[in-house]
Amino acid sequence: MEPFLYNLFSDRQIIRLGPWFLQKFIARRIARKRAPKSRESYRKIGGGSPILAITKQQARALEEALGNSGDYLVRSCMRYWHPFASEILPELAREGVGEIIALPLYPQYSVATTGSSLTDLNRTADRLKLPFTIREIRSWPDQPQYIRCLAGRIREGLGRFKSTPEVVYSAHSLPQKFIDEGDPYVDDLHKTISALEKITGIQGHLCYQSRSGPVEWLEPSTPDMLRRLASSGCRNILMVPISFVSDHVETLYEIDMLYRDMAAELGMELRSTRALNDDPEFIGALRDLVLSQPSAPAAM
């Protein structure tokens, strides 16, 4: 846990901890302090994160879906823990791959997520002197099949309530300064929500979870949204983890445990939509994204 957190907080594209030469020192102290709390969160969802296993399932399913469209290899890598780009890129080079389509599993672009991942991918290829052509899929907030898949999850979730719930879109938070500096993350979130509302005919509420540290974060926070809805007489909430495509600690612990319990204390029932994970329709969306690139066949 501690090395993972150290890698995370060492990334200045996510957070700037003092002057650059102190970043790693401060990151190490934060990681040491936060590790016990983080370990407890993961303990509550089974002792570890399922995201690597799910991402590998997505990769296998996508490679199979691309099988009739060219000679594709699909491999997954992580930003802050194994397998790193430095482990996956040499493997692709040994397989004879010359072109990579980089497909971040973040539908909405932010410099802290997609931006950091693509920067790491390109820098790693340069550092290892691997002459790949790298084509980037930078964002896909309103990709039609992705939106249809999300809309299906919402309809499914609505059917689990006896009376119509309020739909709450909970996205991973960012420091407000990112948006002030031109990050398109919030605009991309609104693109996703707008496309969903055209299909479902339901207007929802956008809020932000997973904030930490003494900086100004995007508002409203998810806890604040829950309190606001409770005070207005809301009794049922369908929460849609709008910026997450796979189950991990933010969905399994924060939403399904922490926010569910908070909602119950406020007199409300909270249920969440199922994650997309390796749903065939979602894999179809990823396939369409890859095939929409200007050159094929390629490897991802």
Same domain (yes/no): 156, 171: yes
Q: DSSP secondary structure string, 58-107?
A: HHHHHHHHTTTSS--------SSSSSPHHHHHHHHHHTT--EEEE--S-S
Task: Please enumerate, by residue number, every residue annotated as part of a binding site.
Answer: 172, 250
pLDDT at 300 over 60: no
Q: What's the whole-number average pLDDT of the chain?
A: 93
Q: Cα 160 from chain centroid? A: 25
Q: What are phi and psi of 56, to 5 degrees?
A: -65, -40
Q: What is the pLDDT of residues 231-245, one digit of tens each?
A: 999 999 999 999 999
Within-domain flag for 300: no
Q: Is the pLDDT of residue 61 over 50?
A: yes
Two structure tokens written together for 129: 């002197």
Distance of CA 272 to the CA centre of its chain: 16
Structural domain includes residue 66: yes
Phi, psi values for residue 169, rounded to 5° = -95, 115
Same-domain pairing of 22 and 104: no
- The answer as to whether 259 is a domain residue is yes
| 244 and 154 fall within a common domain | yes
Residue 169 and residue 257 in one domain: yes
Find the mean pLDDT for residues 44-73. 95
Judge if 184 and 260 occupy the same domain.
yes
Q: What is the pLDDT of residue 296?
A: 42
**Can you give the C-alpha Rg of the chain in angstroms?**
20
Q: Quick one: which of 250, 159, 161 has its CA closest to 212?
A: 250
In a domain, 297, yes or no: no
Q: Report residue 150's pLDDT band, with 50, 70 and 90 as the boundaries.
A: very high
The residue to which tokens 């009739």 are assigned: 68
Note whether 154 and 263 are same-domain residues: yes
SS3 state of residue 44: helix
Indicate the annotated binding residues for Fe(2+): 172, 250
Q: How many distinct structural domains can be found in the chain?
A: 3
Based on the domain organization, do 205 and 112 belong to the same domain? no
Task: Examine the domain organization and report whether 213 and 153 are in the same domain.
Answer: yes
Domain shared by 266 and 177, yes or no: yes
Of the pLDDT bands very low, low, confident and very high (cuts 50, 70, 90), residue 14 is confident
163-197: pLDDT as tens digits: 999 999 999 999 999 999 999 999 999 999 999 99
The answer, yes or no, to whether residue 295 has pLDDT greater than 90, is no
Residue 25 lies in a domain: yes
Question: Are the C-beta atoms of residues 109 and 188 closer than 8 Å to each other?
Answer: yes
Do 28 and 81 reside in the same domain of the chain?
no
Percent over 90 (pLDDT), the chain: 78
Give me the pLDDT at residue 213, please: 64
3-class SS at 205?
Answer: strand
Q: State the pairing for strand pair 166-172/269-272.
A: unpaired
CATH number at residue 79: 3.40.50.1400
Cα separation, 209 vs 186, whole angstroms: 13
160 and 261 both lie in a single domain: yes
pLDDT at residue 25 is higher than 50: yes
- Structural domain including 96 reads 51-140+281-291
Tokens for 244? 């997450």
Written as six digits, the tokens of 96 are: 């004879």
- Statement to judge: residues 39 and 132 lie in one domain: no
